[in-house]
């Protein structure tokens, strides 16, 4: 659950779907951690929260999450808050 299946969740996928402008502020405050490591951390937290919200159903895999995000692109609006 706390690992990323790199067959589905690639570095490019993380940059496309989990990049945030605030990442630079986080890197500035913690220069030892790379941008990609921060994106992986954000993704793992996202995955954990989704699976927790499912309330005991089988957890979504990295493949499931990738398919949902890619199929929703252009159809689902996610406002930046």
Could you report the per-residue pLDDT of 24-55, keeping only the tens digit for each?
A: 666 666 666 677 888 898 899 999 999 999 99
Residue 63 tokens read as 């493949």
Q: Is residue 15 part of a domain?
A: yes
Q: Is residue 5 part of a domain?
A: no
Who's near 54: CB < 8 A, 6+ residues apart?
60
Whether residue 6 has pLDDT greater than 90: yes
Whether residue 21 has pLDDT greater than 80: no
Taking the C-alpha atoms of 61, 67, 73 and 77 in order, what is their torsion angle to the nearest 10 degrees?
A: -40
Q: Is residue 78 part of a domain?
A: no
Q: Is residue 33 part of a domain?
A: yes
Q: pLDDT (tens digit, 9 = 90+) per residue, 60-76?
A: 999 999 999 999 988 88
Rounded to two decimals, what is the model's pTM? 0.79
Domain count, the chain: 1
Structural domain range at position 45? 11-72
């Amino acid at each position: 659950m706390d690992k990323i299946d790199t067959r589905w969740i690639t570095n490019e996928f993380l940059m496309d779907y989990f990049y945030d402008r605030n990442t630079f502020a986080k890197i500035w405050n913690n220069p030892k951690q790379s941008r990609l490591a921060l994106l992986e951390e954000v993704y793992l937290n996202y995955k954990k929260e989704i699976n927790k919200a499912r309330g005991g159903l089988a957890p979504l895999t990295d493949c499931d999450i990738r398919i949902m995000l890619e199929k929703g692109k252009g159809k689902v609006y996610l406002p930046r808050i």
